[in-house]
Amino acid sequence: MHNSSYKKMEWFRQHYLSDMEAERLAIYDLGSQDVNGSYRPLFDHPQWQYQGIDMAAGKNVDIVLRTPYVWREVATASADVVVSGQAFEHIQYFWITMLEIARVLKPGGVCCILAPSSGPEHRYPVDCWRFYPDGMHALANYAQLEVLEATTQWHNEGHVDGSDSWHDSMLVCRKPELGPWWSLKSGAKRWLQHRALTIGLRDEDAATPKKSGQGEYARSSGAMDTVIRWYRHFVPARLRMRVPRRFRRMVRKRLIGP
């Protein structure tokens, strides 16, 4: 955790979350393991639930992912805020991870991503990418998120730890809140993209059934189970009961017979 990154995340907290201190917020931090510091102090508030997410257990990690591309451990539309700093350059297929961020955000939820635009190679365990504002715009558009900020620190700011060398880029975006029909269409599009892009990356054979309500993917047990899993994946819980019963009966009849 370098000083430049911490200061930028502090700026995000002050400009986008300071008016929400009276609200209950669920905040996920992707790439949260405490390596010379973390963002936890910025989001340590009585009304806020901060959870660190990473690929390995460690300090400041609450949720351990099996893969950065399929977050079985995190429920759909469960986050008000998702933050990530100095993680995306280490994710080989970061655009798939962005689809998962969009999935777990609630409508109206915000996301802040920090990643370097320059600096030396620092493999952890790989170092694949650097980001500019246009790239951040493209990433948000790909996941159907509304861009609020997309900037790069082009000039040195005098950070004493030498972290000016990274010239971090910052993306702040929001998941649009345009009603249930838009959410349904948008979620379906992201689900299809995600399923196509994660062939061979889902590690489904290693998945084990979990108790319902924990955001896990159940094992498929026939055509109807596949439809139900798809439905639960991208339709927020508050919208699910609005699907007419006759539609559910029609799907069941067409898939498995009368």
Domain range summary for the chain, segments of one domain joined by +: 3-174, 180-256
Closest CA to 118 of 188, 169, 62, 67: 169
Domain 3-174: which topology?
Rossmann fold (3.40.50)
What average pLDDT does range 151-161 have in this prediction? Answer: 95
pLDDT value at 200 more than 50: yes
pLDDT value at 226 more than 60: no
Closest CA to 11 of 234, 193, 170, 233: 170
For the ranges 124-128, 151-155, 170-174, 178-182, which has the lowest average pLDDT?
178-182
Q: What is the mean pLDDT of the chain?
A: 86
Count CA atoms closer than 13 A to 33's CA, side-chain side.
10
Closest CA to 105 of 78, 137, 74: 78
Lookup result for tokens 């819980």:
237
Q: What confidence tier does 202 reach under pLDDT thresholds 50, 70, 90? A: confident
What average pLDDT does range 236-246 have in this prediction? Answer: 61
Can you give the pTM of this predicted structure?
0.79
**pLDDT tens digits, 170-186:** 999 999 998 888 888 89
Q: Between residues 71 and 202, which one has the greater pLDDT?
A: 71
Host H or E run for residue 30: strand 25-30
Q: What residue spans of 85-179 are helical by DSSP H?
A: 94-104, 133-142
CA distance to 13, 45, 80, 136, 246, per residue, from 27 (Å): 11, 11, 6, 21, 37
What average pLDDT does range 135-140 have in this prediction? Answer: 98
- Count of CB atoms within 10 A of residue 164's CB? 19
Tokens of 253: 């009849």
pLDDT value at 211 more than 70: no
pLDDT of residue 207: 40
pLDDT value at 227 more than 80: no
Q: What confidence tier does 250 reach under pLDDT thresholds 50, 70, 90? A: low
pLDDT of residue 205: 37
CA dihedral of residues 241, 242, 247, 248 (deg, nearest 10): -10
- Show the CA angle centred on residue 93, arms to residues 191 and 13, nearest 5°: 85
Distance CA 165, CA 151 (A): 16
Closest CA to 109 of 78, 140, 70, 75: 78
Q: What confidence tier does 244 reach under pLDDT thresholds 50, 70, 90? A: low
Q: Between residues 39 and 224, which one has the greater pLDDT?
A: 39
For the ranges 168-172, 191-195, 210-214, which has the lowest average pLDDT?
210-214
